[in-house]
Structure 1
Amino acid sequence: MRRRLINSTLAVVLVVIAVFGVSLVIVETRTITSSAQESVDSEALRVVSIVDGRLLGGESISASVLKQQITANRYARVDVPGHRDVQVGSKPKGSVIRGEARGEQGEVVTVEELSSSVTREVGRTLLIIGAVALLAIIAAVLLAVRQANMLASPLVDLAETAEKLGSGDPRPRHKRYAVPELDRVADVLDSSAERIARMLTAERRLAADASHQLRTPLTALSMRLEEITVTEDLDTARDEASIALNQVERLTDVVERLLTNARDPRTGSAIPLDLDRIIKQQIEEWKPVYRSAGRAIVRSGRQGVWVMATPGAIAQVLAALIENSLMHGGGTVALRTRVTGNQAVIEVTDEGAGVSPDLGARIFERAISGHNSTGIGLAVARDLAEADGGRLELLQPHPPVFALFLSRETQEPQERERPVR
Structure 2
Amino acid sequence: MREPHSTPLRRRVLVAIVGIAAPAVALFAIPLALSVERLYHDETAGALGRDATWIAAAIPDHVMSGPPASLSLPRGVPSGLRVGVYTTKGDLLFGEGPRRSDIAVHSRDGRVHEEVEDGYMAVSAPIPSDEVRGGVVRVAAPYDQISERVHESWLLMAGLAVIVIGLAAAFALRQSRRLAAPLEHLTRAAQGLGAGDFSIRAPRSDVREADVAGLALESTARRLGEVLDRERAFSADVSHQLRTRLTGMLLGLESALARPGAQHEDAIRTALARGEQLQTVIEDLVRLTRESDAERCLDVRALLQEIRGAWYGGLAAQGRSLALSLPDELPPVAASPAALRQILQVLLDNAVAHGAGEITVDVADLGNGVAIEVADQGAGVPEGADVFARRSGDAEGHGIGLALARSLAEAEGGRLVLRRAAPPVFSLLLPTPGPD
Aligned to 1:403: 425
Distance 1:93-1:107 versus aligned 2 partners, 3 A rule? closer
Cα shift at 1:131:
1.6
String of CA shifts for 1:38-90, please: whole Å, max 9, x gaps.
2212211121112248979x9x7644x43x2x333111113489xx9442799
Counterparts in 2 of 1:210 and 1:264: CA distance versus 1, 3 Å: farther
- The equivalent residue for 1:411 is none
* Structure 1 match to 2:120: 96
SS of match in other structure, 1:334: coil
Return the alpha-carbon distance in structure 2 between the equivalents of residues 116 and 373 of structure 1: 107
Structure 1 residue 108, shift from structure 2 partner: 1.7
The reply on whether 1:347 has 2:376 as its aligned counterpart is: yes
1:252 paired to 2:279: yes
2:167 aligned to which of 134, 139, 142: 139
| Aligned: 1:32 with 2:40 | yes
The aligned amino acid for 1:34 is: D
Q: Answer with 247-256 or 85-94: which moved more.
A: 85-94
Matching residue within 72, 75, 82 for 1:75: 82
Contact persistence 1:13–1:137 (CA under 8 A): yes
Change (3 A) 1:372 1:190: farther
Root-mean-square deviation (CA), in Å?
4.4
Corresponding residue of 2:104: none
Residue in 1 aligned with 2:331?
none
| SS of residue in 2 equivalent to 1:77 | strand
Deviation at 1:165, TM superposition (A): 2.3
**TM-score when normalising by structure 1:** 0.70
1:50 correspondence with 2:77? no
- 1:3-55: CA deviation from partner (whole Å, max 9, x where unpaired): 23223322322222333322222221122122222221221112111224897
Q: Deviations over 1:110-155 (max 9, x none)?
A: 1110011001101110121012112112201210100110111122
TM-score (norm 2): 0.68
The residue correspondences of 1:22-421 to structure 2 (distance < 5 A) are 22-52=30-60, 62-63=72-73, 65-66=74-75, 68=76, 70-79=77-86, 85-87=93-95, 95-105=119-129, 106-171=134-199, 173=201, 177-179=205-207, 182=210, 185-186=213-214, 189-190=217-218, 192-193=220-221, 196-197=224-225, 199-233=227-261, 236-262=263-289, 263=291, 266-268=296-298, 270-273=303-306, 278=311, 281=314, 303=321, 305-306=323-324, 313-321=343-351, 325=354, 334-337=356-359, 346-347=375-376, 349-350=378-379, 355-357=382-384, 359=385, 363-367=386-390, 376-381=400-405, 393=418, 395-396=420-421, 401-404=423-426
Of 112-121 and 186-195, the range deviating more from structure 2: 186-195
Closer, same or farther in 2 for the Cα pair 1:391/1:148, shift >3 Å? closer
Distance 1:138 1:341 in 2: 78
Query: For 2:189 and 2:21, how far apart are their aligned partners in 1?
Result: 34
Query: Structure 1 340/272 Cα, relative in aligned 2: closer, same or farther at 3 Å?
Result: closer
Does the C-alpha gap of structure 1 residues 405 and 249 become closer, same or farther in structure 2, counting only changes over 3 Å? same
Give me the identity figure in percent.
24
**Where does the alignment leave 5 or more consecutive residues of structure 1 unmatched?**
285-297, 326-332, 407-421
Match of residue 15, structure 1, among 17, 23, 27: 23
Q: Distance in 2 between matches of 1:8 and 1:339?
A: 72
Q: Aligned pair in 2 of structure 1 residues 54, 158: CA closer, same or farther (>3 Å)?
A: farther
Structure 2 runs not aligned, ≥5 long = 1-7, 100-115, 327-336, 365-371, 429-436
Aligned residues: 366
Instruction: Report the CA distance shift for 1:113/1:178 in structure 2 as closer, same or farther (over 3 A).
Output: same
Do the aligned partners of residues 52 and 223 (structure 1) sit closer, same or farther apart at CA in structure 2, a change above 3 Å counting? farther
Q: CA 1:276–1:382 in structure 2 vs 1: closer, same or farther (change >3 Å)?
A: farther
Are the counterparts in 1 of residues 360 and 375 from structure 2 also a CA contact under 8 Å? yes
